Structure 1
């Protein structure tokens, strides 16, 4: 049985750990409110942008736009977005698990895979594969739209050069404070909505475009890529704080359970020590009587 001093030191150490995890839980909770608000405010904009792009591309001349060039897929690029910091449970590992799964699937089909890492945690894991083409780290704690624009421009340039025939974005989607699911979204080529007959006429009648659809699409396509990347980064930002809050809450509860168990061990050790001392006293008294 461990000594009383050892058990006491363990109890003090675990209590200090619980104080740290509790403080991190509160910090994550405070940051989550701001990140979740930004994400929820951006979602309607992203949805409306997608709707406008679908409407424009449905009736336009897609051959005039290189970003809509659908070709035989021989090379796939994956944009993997994770957080820069850890201590958020299995959030990053779930995203990476999906990324490795997609890499295995495409390689099994005979395709070449390259990776763009956004976030330090993804880069730390995926750089071991030797497939990382470029990385954007130390930006997820305070990213802005210009960060998303830089990433989108890099990916679009690589696509236009023919180095990648298809681009997908892998990130953690915020479902709720308790649930964050990794998802895959196709980014390039930009695919037009499939409409036929009366539906085309109906959509064409919803909007009158000035200037022409082609001129508007020429401006909107790069913006569309920025929106996809920035939206994914917002989702990851909110999901990271939610996952860390849950993880730190679980850690704090685990510390309390450990303290309870150690307190029981301490009481047993103290009782055993007291019993031993009493036995020594009784034994000594009996020896004096003899």
Structure 2
């Protein structure tokens, strides 16, 4: 049995750890609330923009714009979105496992290039000797900005239009709630999402385009990709702090249980030591 000093030292260590996990839980809870509000505020705009683009897409041929034209040949560009920090439960491991499955599946039909956003994803791929085109870390330290989505979108536009990729897929954690994040693979480009391009539009009305329909289509498509990326970044940011808050809350509870168990062990050991000393005293008195 460990000595009383060792048990006391371990109780002190667990209490210090509990203070850290509780502080991390409170910080993530505060960040989660702000991130969740931003996600909910952005979703209606993103959904309406998608509706407008789909409505406009239904009135043009798939070949009307390069961002809509399906491609049969070429490589796939996979964008893996993870966090820069750990201690967030299975937030990163879930999307990492899905990434390896996607890479194996996509590799059967062609080559796959990868862009890693987040330190955990970059380190995960590097450890498994999977090459990446580029990596971006420390992007979401405090909050997600629209400028970040614009910068990444510009690089993806260039890769799709100039490098001839067949498709660009983003793999990320979609935020459902503080305790639920869903790993999602979204095909960002090409944007054609019609099941039947020859089908008639459901609505009978149309828009007036100024200066022209192709110019409006080009502007809307590029804006839609930026908005989708911005929404994806916010979903992942909120999901990260939701997962971390849940993980730290569980760690704090486990620390409390461990402290209670160690305290009980300490009391039993102290009682046994006191009993031993009393027996020695009584035995000594009897010997005299």
TM-score by length of 1: 0.93
CA distance in 2, matches of 1:271, 1:31: 46
Matched, 1:93 2:93: yes
CA deviations over 1:46-101 (Å, ceiling 9, x no partner): 10111011011111133231222211144111111111111111101111111111
Contact 2:62 2:70 in 1 (8 A): no
| Structure 1 residue 20: Cα displacement | 1.2
Residue of structure 1 equivalent to 2:126: 127
The equivalent of 1:118 in structure 2 is 117
Equivalent residue number for residue 192 of structure 2: 191
Match of residue 156 from structure 2: 155
Distance 1:254 1:282, change over 3 A: same
CA 1:68/1:197 → structure 2, altered by over 3 Å: closer, same or farther?
closer
Deviates more, 1:114-123 or 1:126-135: 126-135
Q: Distance in 2 between matches of 1:197 and 1:10?
A: 70
* CA drift at 1:192: 4.5
Give 1:199 shift.
4.0
Q: Distance in 1 between matches of 2:197 and 2:67?
A: 23
Q: How many aligned positions are there? A: 286
* Residue equivalent to 1:182: 183
Q: CA deviation at 1:44?
A: 0.5
What is the TM-score when the length of structure 2 is the normalising length? 0.94
Q: Secondary structure at the match of 1:240?
A: helix
Tell me how far 1:197 sits from its aligned partner: 7.8
Mapped contact 1:61–1:214 kept (Cα < 8 A) = no
SS in 2 for 1:256: helix
Aligned match of 1:51: 51
Alpha-carbon offset, residue 195 of structure 1:
5.5
**CA RMSD between the two structures:** 1.7
Q: Once the two structures are superposed, what CA deviation does each residue of 1:134-156 show, in whole Å capped at 9, x if it has no partner?
A: 11111112331111111111112
Gaps of 5+ in 2: none
User: What pairs with 1:7-86 in structure 2 (closer than 5 Å)?
Assistant: 7-86=7-86
What's the secondary structure of 2:134's corresponding residue? strand
For the structure 1 residues 206 and 67, does the alpha-carbon distance in structure 2 shift closer, same or farther, using more than 3 Å as the test? closer
**SS of match in other structure, 2:281:** helix
Mapped pair 1:4 → 2:4: yes
SS in 2 for 1:217: helix
Q: CA deviation at 1:222?
A: 1.4
Secondary structure of 1:169 counterpart? strand
Which structure 1 segments of 5+ residues have no match? Answer: none
User: CA distance change for structure 1 residues 194 and 211 in 2, over 3 Å: closer, same or farther?
Assistant: farther
Could you tell me which residue of structure 1 aligns to residue 173 of structure 2? 172
Q: Is the 8 A contact 1:58 1:192 kept in 2?
A: no
